[in-house]
Amino acid sequence: MFVNDIESLEIDEKCLKILRALAKIYKAEKFVKISSAHVSGVSYDNIGEEGLEWLKSIKGKVRVYTTLNPAGMDCERWREMGLKEDFYRKQFEILKVFENLGVEMTLTCTPYYVNAPKFGEHLAWAESSAVVYANSLIGARTNRESGISALASAIAGVTPYYGLHMKENRAPTVLVKAKGDLSIVGYKAGIELPSEIPLFVFDRKVSETELKLLSASIAATGNIAMFHAENVTPEWKDFEIPREKVDIEGKFEKICEPDLIAIGCPHCSREELEKILKLLDGRKVKKELWIFTSRKIFEDAKKTVEELEKLGAKVFRDTCMVVSPATERFKCVMVNSGKALEYLPKKRKVEVAFGSLENCVRSAIE
């Protein structure tokens, strides 16, 4: 399970250096074998020419099952997204490099819907929303890796043993009584408690989708990599209840008139696609409604996708409203995601309106 000496692994020198440096910074005395890696930093819009050159310089192949975060475009429908051929070519080049390294072309921030890790497994995952989901909802163990360190670990098959890989560092540090929209609860918790491990106590039964949205927003505004939830998450009983208490209400008002409604941050599950279809209830959309999911869920839910498209929604794969520059041409984007609420104004310079999934769909048909 552990490796003390990574020098003998015979891997790309740059990857070795990254892992050695991380171990030194975090005082990790050894490395732990990982069952999977998840790599971010895929969109050409994010990593640019320099990132592409760096990726091209990496030698070898990944040693463990490695998944890939969304790119800057739907690989088939990029034209419909309004993207230019130059962008497509560069993005395609990046994807080819990852493919040659042996990375699975999952192109999703929800790798746990493709192949879920098991409780207690050690991972090296980038993509902060997936990190929080894996640690909190599954009980797998990963630190918040960068795209670069996750790739280095994928090539080496190990990651430095520190932080959330160790049980003693996974204890909750603050008790949070939460009510209202969980996406906003996470958004506020990330701001108010940026370096804590919250133990949430909810005032009602919460769904997996709500916890996924919470995982994304808490990691977007804060430096948080895991939480516990009373009677919900697998490790919450393993530790003492923290003394410090905070109340957070998931309420948020920010209104602009949306010209795009974007759902799927993190990528939609099959259940969410079905719920959107149900909410549309046969009514045609009158505004642009973009839904983002993985190619895996797109295939699994093909019928639902077709129904959604018939009603005028666009279901895109491989990308999202934040990592793709395609959303920049809109003025106001309405979302149900606290993560998108945080990132869209910063990355895409658009105004953002927030609403529940129900409100987002209603806005699309009004």
Q: Which is nearer to ligand F3S, 51 or 60 (CB)?
A: 51
Q: How far apart are CA 221 and CA 193, in angstroms?
A: 10
| Window contacting ligand F3S (CB under 6 A); options: 30-38, 157-165, 229-237, 318-326 | 318-326
The reply on whether position 323 binds ligand F3S by CB under 6 A is: yes
**Whole-number minimum distance, CB 225 to ligand F3S, in Å?**
14
Q: How far apart are CA 284 and CA 128, in angstroms?
A: 35
Q: What would the two tokens of residue 293 be? A: 């999911």
The reply on whether position 129 binds ligand F3S by CB under 6 A is: yes
Return all residues near 156 (Cβ < 8 A) that are at least 6 apart: 6, 9, 11, 15, 16, 19, 31, 63
The reply on whether position 73 binds ligand F3S by CB under 6 A is: no
The reply on whether position 144 binds ligand F3S by CB under 6 A is: no
Given candidates 72, 157, 266, 355, which one binds ligand F3S under the rule CB under 6 A? 266
- Burial classification of residue 53, based on how many CB atoms lie within 10 Å of its CB (0-12 exposed, 13-18 middle, 19 or more buried): exposed
The reply on whether position 132 binds ligand F3S by CB under 6 A is: no
Given candidates 6, 126, 148, 216, which one binds ligand F3S under the rule CB under 6 A? 216
**Binding footprint of ligand F3S, residue count (CB under 6 A):** 14
The reply on whether position 32 binds ligand F3S by CB under 6 A is: no
Task: Report strand pairing: 288-293 vs 228-229.
Answer: unpaired
| Cα→Cα distances 164→35, 94, 120, 264, Å | 15, 30, 11, 27
The reply on whether position 182 binds ligand F3S by CB under 6 A is: no
Given candidates 339, 351, 354, 364, which one binds ligand F3S under the rule CB under 6 A? 339
| Window contacting ligand F3S (CB under 6 A); options: 134-142, 166-174, 317-325, 358-366 | 317-325
The reply on whether position 147 binds ligand F3S by CB under 6 A is: no
Q: Which is nearer to ligand F3S, 31 or 292 (CB)?
A: 292
Return all residues near 53 (Cβ < 8 A) that are at least 6 apart: none
CB burial readout 54-76, b (16+ within 10 A) else e: ebeebeeebbbbbbbbbbbbbbe
| Window contacting ligand F3S (CB under 6 A); options: 3-11, 78-86, 96-104, 262-270 | 262-270
CA angle 206, 207, 208 (to 5 degrees): 130
Q: How far apart are CA 80 and CA 73, in angstroms?
A: 10
| Cα→Cα distances 171→6, 97, 154, 159, Å | 29, 39, 27, 21
**Whole-number minimum distance, CB 107 to ligand F3S, in Å?**
10
The reply on whether position 193 binds ligand F3S by CB under 6 A is: no
Q: How far apart are CA 362 and CA 135, in angstroms?
A: 34
Given candidates 11, 83, 109, 158, which one binds ligand F3S under the rule CB under 6 A? 109
**Whole-number minimum distance, CB 265 to ligand F3S, in Å?**
3
Which residue type, as a one-letter code, is found at position 10?
E
| Interaction site with ligand F3S (CB under 6 A) | 69-70, 109, 129, 216, 265-267, 292, 320, 322-323, 339, 343
